[in-house]
Structure 1
Amino acid sequence: METAAAWADMETDCLVHVFARLDLEDLAASAPFVCRGWRRAAADPSLWRALDLRRDHLARFMPWAPLAAAFARLYAVHRFSLAGFLRLCVSRARGSAEDVALPPLLADPADEIVHMSLQCPRLRRLALPQLTAGDEARLPVLIPRWPLLEHLELDTKPSSSSSFPALAAQLALHCPGFASLKTSGAVKPQDAAALARSLPGLRSLCLDRSYLPREQLLAILSGCRGLREFSARGCVGFDDKDEEVLRRGARIQRFDVGGSKLVDDLEDDFAAGGSFCDSSDVDVIVM
């Protein structure tokens, strides 16, 4: 009877195909320590192209979690940090990382974004947590380092009057394939104008749970003629049954503004015993 081939004897390409189903923490702290063949396969850059550190829950990255214990035992790392794990992942990618999503618990996200701008030149998708005003202002300067960028997700839209227009201008100038933006916040007239002026070919735009006045919404719909997907669910500033809004949105393949309300409607809800901060309304309205 023939015996099954040992896993350690499998071709590296086959192991890489199998390891593609592992989580990042297993690739970092489990597979490499089985044998030399597994270590070689786990180090393949193709396994580190997608670095989503927001997936599932963040408890696994806490200092008391099993992952920290594994790093202390295997790497002699006695002060485990999420930033350190991120840098390990970026290093393993060897410049091939294409999809990075940063979690909200980084001590200094600006430093990690700068590091990625130098080490991840092939980035196509980037998702960022909420940044400080100072860090938001630095983001447009880094955009030219990601010429292949196609999708940007910002937990909150840059709040200063100049940061978002500057960001949109840099995306238009340096990222010819940029097509998708997701963010949330107060959309001001200059923000809507920046989208229409700099990113008219945008294909997908998500502004869910934003403060989005009707005038800004109509300006975006008029200016961004390339949109195929548009979502502004649970927004404040326009009525989701507004005939003009629905008419302009009819040309867009996937158009969803459900649950959006005028400010007056929110006041009526609140007077009737409702809340400004339920699941369908923005938490804070800032102008």
Structure 2
Amino acid sequence: MESPSSSSSSSSSSSTRSEQYRNWLELPRDVTASILQRLGAIEILESAQRVCMHWRNLCKDPSMWRAIDMRNHEYWDTPLDLDHLEKMCRHAIDRSSGQLRDISIEYFGTDDLLKHITLSSSQLRRLRLVSCYHITDEGLNEAAAKLPLLEELDITICLFSKEPLMALGRCCPLLKSFKLNRQGIRSVHIECDEEAVAVAESMPELRHLQLFGNQLTNDGLNAILNGCPHLESLDLRQCFNVNLSGDLGKRCAERIKSLWRPDDPTDDYEFAAEIDDGGSFDENDPSGMSDIDYLSLSEGYGHYEFSGESDLSDDDFTDYDFYDYGDYYFG
């Protein structure tokens, strides 16, 4: 027979456990939405929305898709191919129902996908393209005309000429932040000011400019300073053709509040910053991207757990316009 003290101890232990572990479903809707949004689009479509009907409904809300991040790097080691990633991205865009403001895509970008983004998202404020080698000058040119509200543009390790950059500057008068990043090269002395001139001639309202690993010279930098009078920050790390000694360095120091010089540390740079000393890119991983940090579900919200198993069945997904692309599916 259980003693009173034993019963009291058991009750106390149960009470402590109840306080320590609460049901995730008891979280306020806005808190749950905030947690899910940190997972990234792929994680939501492949996993999170299959947990329970409550999460499923949240994941179908257009407000969940105002920002779409398709840079989920752990998936590059899985069978998900670029075609399926593009289809998944299209589905995420469609879920936004025109509310999309911010999108980041990596590797799988194409002219057709970029066209779908611009036709479906008239309110887009930020566009980020990473290693999107299948987007052409023509595709970016066409997209520029449909991005009148764009404020931030990041282009990292992509292959575009001066012309689409000029088009973006002309068609996006609200553009305040521009990143055009490559890999720094020391081994071969190549000078090219075309991109710098495109920025100088077409983006007069810029406040923030990052040209990591660019081949511009002092002439290109002077053109930027002349053409972009409102610049507040300028990142020239690994721009080894630029010499900031003398008058040019003094001009930058006087004009720019936040200045990164060519040889400044790259610890806070989010991509690989190895200098090319004569080698070439790995075609399978041209960007050398760093890992993306994913949400720890217990971080910041105590400890929560689900009671029982998921309340979703295959029939539920059939009722929710379930998408099936070969061996990959998301609803």
Do Structure 1 and Structure 2 share a fold, with TM-score over 0.5? yes
Q: Does 1:279 align with 2:274?
A: yes
Q: How far 1:189 moved relative to its partner?
A: 4.5
Q: 1:122 to 1:281 in 2, by over 3 A?
A: same
Q: 1:244 aligns with which of 223, 247, 253?
A: 247
Q: Alpha carbons of 1:211 and 1:41: their partners in 2 closer, same or farther (altered >3 Å)?
A: same
Residue 217 (structure 2) aligned to one of 207, 213, 216? 213
1:19-65 superposed Cα distances (whole Å, 9 cap, x missing partner): 334343342233433443322112122222221222444426x326x
Q: Are 1:133 and 1:160, in contact at CA under 8 Å, matched by a contact in 2?
A: no
One-letter amino acid of the structure 1 residue matched with residue 55 of structure 2: W
2:175 equivalent to 1:178:
yes
- 1:116-131 equivalences in 2 (<5 Å): 116-130=117-131
Equivalent AA in structure 1 for residue 200 of structure 2: A
**Which residue pairs with 1:101 in the alignment?**
104
Task: Say whether 1:162 aligns with 2:163.
Answer: yes
Q: Is contact 2:181–2:213 with CA below 8 Å preserved after alignment?
A: yes
State the secondary structure of the residue aligned to 1:148.
coil
TM-fit CA distance, 1:220:
0.8
Candidates 51, 60, 64, aligned match of 1:43: 60
Q: In structure 1, the residue corresponding to 2:200 is in which secondary structure?
A: helix
Is the Cα contact below 8 Å between 2:111 and 2:136 reproduced in 1? yes
Paired position in structure 2 for 1:22: 39
SS at match of 1:102: strand
Q: 2:144 and 2:44 mapped to 1: Cα distance?
A: 29
How many angstroms does 1:206 deviate by?
0.6
The question of whether the paired residues in 2 share the 8 Å contact of 1:63 and 1:81 is answered with no
Separation in structure 1 between the aligned mates of residue 278 and residue 149 of structure 2, nearest angstrom: 34
Paired letter, 2:274: S
| Offset at residue 109 of structure 1 (A) | 1.5
Identity of aligned residues (%): 27
Question: Using the alignment, how far apart are the partners of 1:197 and 1:282 within structure 2?
Answer: 32
Asked whether the equivalents of residues 40 and 70 of structure 2 are also in contact (C-alpha less than 8 Å), the reply is: no
Residue 279 of structure 1 aligns with an amino acid whose one-letter code is E
Q: Which has the higher contact order (CA 8 A, sep 6+)?
A: 2
More helix by share: 1
Shift in alpha-carbon separation, 1:137–1:24, aligned structure 2, 3 A: closer
Equivalent residues of 1:182, 1:207 under 8 A apart? yes
TM-score with structure 2 setting the length = 0.63
User: 1:235–1:13: structure 2 CA closer, same or farther, 3 Å change rule?
Assistant: closer
Q: TM-score, with normalisation over the residues of structure 1? A: 0.72
> Is residue 176–residue 205 contact of structure 2 (8 Å, CA) maintained in 1?
yes
- 1:52 matched to 2:69? The reply is yes
Partner residue of 2:303? none
Kept in 1: contact 2:68–2:103 (CA 8 A): yes
8 Å Cα contact 2:42/2:72 also seen in 1 = no
CA–CA separation in structure 1 for the residues paired with 2:278 and 2:172: 28
Change (3 A) 1:246 1:283: farther
**For residue 82 of structure 1, what is the aligned residue in structure 2?**
85
Equivalent AA in structure 2 for residue 148 of structure 1: L
Structure with the higher fraction of residues in strand conformation = 2
Q: Is the deviation greater in 28-37 or in 229-238?
A: 28-37
Partner SS for 1:145: coil
Cα distance change of structure 1 residues 215 and 199 upon mapping to structure 2, 3 Å threshold: same
Residue 121 of structure 1 contacts residue 146 of structure 1 at CA under 8 Å; is this kept in 2? yes
- Aligned residues between the structures: 246
